Each structure stands twice: as structure tokens, then as C-alpha cells.
Amino acid sequence: MAKSKKNEEVRTSIDNLNDSLTSIGEKVQKNQKPLMIATICVVAVVALVLVYIFLMRNPAIDEANTAVGAADREMLINGNDSIALDIYQQVAEDGYDAGNRAKLMAAIQLYQQGKYEEALGFVSEYSAKDAIIGAAAYSLEGDCYVNLDNLDAAVGSFKNAISQSDANPHYTPFFMLKLARVYRAQDNFEGALKLYEEIRADYPNYATANGVNIEKEIEFARVKAGK
């Protein structure tokens, strides 16, 4: 029961982020830097999931884990993000699981502060193992690249996110949509069209459940691609 409850909490949190996808098309057209929509990512969800797993589920058994737990409490309970970030950055220099998680948590906070280069330095060193959290980390890496105007690198990161998420019906199409936006910014409308069609074929319920007009996206990409 506890595991089922945890999975439901994680799913609900991530699903809430997908609501923002409905306005992506409009934002892309209005913004001179259309890929700033990449800030719509799973950053907040990753933080919540990681804190749940390591603060609530796993007891601190060594100094590094204790330090990360202290950072989690500073962030969630006391609201001291700056103190938490300092701790995460210090622990990130250590090895083992605590150091690995601290890298991602530091990257999340730095990204939220708009420090994309610094965030990229931490998230790029994160060892992505878990299907969802690992995929979210790759997505965060992609978002960093987008905000640093390195779209080619962003493509690779979002592809990794798609692969890591292992065809999860709730999250894989989310990352596919983000990759499609990068393709559109690169005028690679054939690539975007292929992704939209794959979402429609492989994840038929996703678009409807999340308010995404996939047919409109397909038609737009088809026209732009000259199909």
C-alpha cells in the first residue's frame, strides 16, 4: 500500500506539470526566443521525489546522507534554499549515492535561479539510473542547454530523456514534445512531425488527457515540412 501511495503521489505531481503544455504553441509564436518554454520542466517534481525517497524513506546512515538530509530539511521545512544549496554543493564533491543525489539537487536549485551554466555543470555529472528521475535529469540538462542557446546539445539530452523513461506512457511523450519544440526552433519540421505522429500512434491517450491538440501540431509541422 505504501509503495502504491508513493507512486500515485509522484504521478500526480508530474502530471500537474503537463497542464502547462497546452499553451506551448502560443508561447513559441510570441517569444523571440521560443525555446525559453523549456523552463517548463520536471525540476520541481524531481526535487519532491528525491526528497521523499531519501528524507522520508531512507534513514541517514552516514555523514553524507545526514548532510543531504539536513539540506532537504532546510529547503522544505525552513525554506532556506541558499543554505540547502551550499550543503548540496559541498556533498556533491563526495562519492556514493548521497553525492550523486546532491549533484542533481544542486542543479535543480541553480536552474531555478537562472544559473544555467552552473546547473549544467552539476547535472551533467549526475549518474542517471532510475527510469523517471534519471529521465528528468536528462530533461533538466536539455533545458540548461536550451537556455544557453546550445540546441544541438539539447537534442541529445532530450533524446536521452526519452530513452531513459523507457516508454512510460505518462512521461515519455512529455519529453518527446520538448524535443519536438527544439526541432521546430531548428526548422527541422520533419523531425518534429515524426515525433508528433509517434505520440499519436504510441501514446494515443496522452494528448487528450493533457490538453494537447496533437492533430493541430501534426498539421502545423506537416505544412512547414512541405508534406
CATH topology of domain 2-225: 1.25.40
User: pLDDT tens, 4-13?
Assistant: 443 443 343 3
The pLDDT value recorded for residue 93 is 75
pLDDT at position 23 over 80:
no
Q: Which three cell numbers stand for residue 175?
A: 519529453
Taking residues 18-36, what's their average pLDDT?
37
CB 212 within 8 A of CB 200: no
Q: Where are the alpha helices (DSSP H) in the chain?
A: 2-18, 24-30, 43-51, 63-76, 81-91, 96-112, 116-123, 131-147, 151-164, 172-185, 189-202, 206-209, 214-225
* Confidence tier at 67 by pLDDT (50, 70, 90): low
Average pLDDT, the chain: 76
Per DSSP, 54 falls in state: I
Distance CA 174, CA 61 (A): 36
pLDDT at position 21 over 70:
no
Per DSSP, 60 falls in state: P
Q: In this predicted model, which residue has the larger pLDDT, 99 or 201?
A: 201
How many other C-beta atoms are found inside a 10 Å radius of the C-beta of residue 143?
28
* Confidence tier at 54 by pLDDT (50, 70, 90): low
Q: Please, which residues have CB within 8 angstroms of residue 217's CB and are 6 or more apart in sequence?
A: 25, 180, 192, 196
Share of the chain above pLDDT 90, in %: 48
User: pLDDT tens, 123-172?
Assistant: 999 988 888 889 999 999 999 999 999 999 999 999 999 999 999 999 99
The pLDDT value recorded for residue 52 is 58
